[in-house]
Each structure stands twice: as C-alpha cells, then as structure tokens.
Amino acid sequence: MTLRVVFAGTPDFSCNCLDGLLQMDGVEVVGVVSQPDRRSGRGMKLTPSPVKRTALAAGIDVITPERLRGDDAALSWLRSRQPDLLVVVAFGMILPDSWLEAATVAPINVHASLLPRWRGAAPIERALLAGDTETGVCLMQMESGLDTGPVYATRRVVIGMRCGGDLWQELAQMGASLLVEQLATIAGGSCIPRPQEHSQTCYASKLARGERIIDWRQPAEIVARLVRCFAPKPGARSRVTGGAMAGKWLKILSGEVVSASHPWLQPGASALVDGQMFIGCGEDSCYRPLQLQPEGKQAMDADALVRGLRGEAIGLAPCG
C-alpha cells in the first residue's frame, strides 16, 4: 500500500523533511502547501518559499493560499488529494480543524523542541536564549490547540556552544530522519502517541526585531546566549556610541565570556588589550567578541577590527 501524503511547510528547515518523504519507498507526496511568494532581496522581487521551489522541482502540485480558514478552494484541493497523512513542518499558519480532519490516518507535525517545552513559533531561539542545556525534535499528532497534541517520538541533542544557525540545520536533519524512521509505524497504528505534560508547558513566542539588540547591562552569559541565538544571521547587534565608528551598528557574531571579573569596565565600554577587545557587561562581567561585522562591511575576526582602530577603544550603547 502506498501512503498518500500532503506536505505543508515553508522555510529551508522544512525542506529536509520534504526531501526525506520524496525518497521513501511506499510514500507518494500528492501535494504541497506553502506560504505565498514574498518580496525579498534588494530588488524586492516576488520569491517562492524554499519548500515551493523544492516541490516544483520534483513536479509536485503546489498551492500557496494567503490563509486557510475560510478558503473553500484550498480545502477542496486538499480533500481531492485524498491524503492518508498530512505532514506539517514549520508551515507558519494555524491549520483549522477542517484541514486536520482531512487526513484519514493522522495530521503529523515535526516540531523543533522537546514538547511540552517551547510550544510556538520560535522554539530553537527560545531554547538558546533561556540557556537550555538540551533540545530536540518531536513528532506530534496535531490537534486544534497550539502544539498541544500527543507525541509519537522524540530525539534529543545537547546544545553546548552551538549557534542558532548550526542548531537549526542539525534539528532539520534530525527531524527528517525521525519522520522517515517513524512514518510507517505511525501509519500502521503501532506507534502510539503519548499525551504531553501540560503543566510543564512554556511558549516560544515569535521573535521581535528589537530582541537582536544587545543589552550590555545583562551579565556576559546572557549576552553570549543572545549572540549564539542570532548567529550567523541576522546577527546580534549594538549601536556604537564612541570612537571612529560612532553612530553605526556593529554585529557581534561570536565571542566568549571572560572568566575574570572586570568591575572597572562599565556596561558597553570596551578595552583593547594585547590586540583583543573586551566589553563590559552587567554584574562586573566581561565579554570578548571573536568575530564582528561593522555596518556596511564583511564579517571579520575581532583582532582585525582592533588593528583598524589603532588603539582607540569604542563605546557601545548599554541597552541599544
């Protein structure tokens, strides 16, 4: 028996799962749903999502509705596919009950957290910002609540010093592997989902643009988490307030917490010592940037920027 699958997803993160399904024996991806083309780049041209591009390259029928609720044409399209499974990975829209009920076996979501921790839109980033020691991916049976459904399977990973970009890629691959591994058992009914512990829930709200701005009044460990969260793109940043770069933005792409206390270095103040830059943080802590990107320039090692400053320290806005 061939499993008929409709796939819903949008960003690069979703493409690993779609590719995995396309390579499976006994699985036919009979349709793909993605978000509409968006304007991007310097020319602000309409650009299809990574999932849409992948689906079209594979010759799969794709729809890109602006919304699902109330769109009778999109629902008719879904039902005409006669899916056994609806697989959803970072789609970016809430699916109404009419969509969830269209799959004869189950609607399945690949979610990038250890549910019930970090339900919502930005689980990877929230895990990094909170200082979680581990995260992972879950296969969840979808229901009308936001990421509230029972969980089929989980795979874990230690976060360590990974940055957001590295963790994103690793979890995308892990999610695809788990999906391919468990799909047949889910369809066959031998993989029974377990209810979540709702009392342990926390929510991963969507990131606001201002969260990229470093608050140097925070301890250096909090600054380090922020830098890792937004690296390599879009990058945590700070406004330069003093020196040759005054008024410009400076992205901090990587760095480390300095173990020694520096009570003489105020939050946002920098010191240049032996070719290295040190930046004061809250609670007398200190952060040493290792890779930086000045506004309008390419990313560079911190020592290259220090050489260009010729001994003149810069100041950074303590709270943006």
Give the rounded percent of residues in the chain with a pLDDT score beyond 70: 100
The domain in which residue 155 lies consists of 3-204
**Is residue 230 predicted with pLDDT exceeding 80?**
yes
Q: Read off the pLDDT of residues 143-187 as tens digits, 9 standing for 90 and up.
A: 999 999 999 999 999 999 999 999 999 999 999 999 999 999 999
- How many other C-beta atoms are found inside a 10 Å radius of the C-beta of residue 171? 25
Do 194 and 217 sit in the same domain of this protein? Answer: no
Q: How sure is the predictor about 319, in pLDDT bands with cuts at 50, 70 and 90?
A: confident
Which of 147, 169, 204 marks a domain boundary?
204
Do 213 and 185 sit in the same domain of this protein? Answer: no
Q: How far apart, in Å, are the Cα atoms of 96 and each of 31, 275, 305?
A: 18, 57, 52
Number of domains in the chain: 2
**Is residue 320 predicted with pLDDT exceeding 80?**
no
The better pLDDT of the pair 300, 39 is held by 300
The mean pLDDT value for 42-69 works out to 95
Do 170 and 223 sit in the same domain of this protein? Answer: no
Q: How sure is the predictor about 264, in pLDDT bands with cuts at 50, 70 and 90?
A: confident
- Chain mean pLDDT for the chain: 95
HSE of 147, CA atoms in CB hemisphere, 13 A? 27
**Is residue 41 predicted with pLDDT exceeding 90?**
no
Q: Read off the pLDDT of residues 12-26 as tens digits, 9 standing for 90 and up.
A: 999 999 999 999 999
Nearest CA among 260, 248, 262 for reference residue 216: 262
Buried b or exposed e, range 73-86, using 16+ CB within 10 angstroms = ebbebbeebebbbb
What pLDDT was estimated at residue 162?
A: 96
Contact 32, 21 (CB under 8 A): no
Do 220 and 84 sit in the same domain of this protein? Answer: no
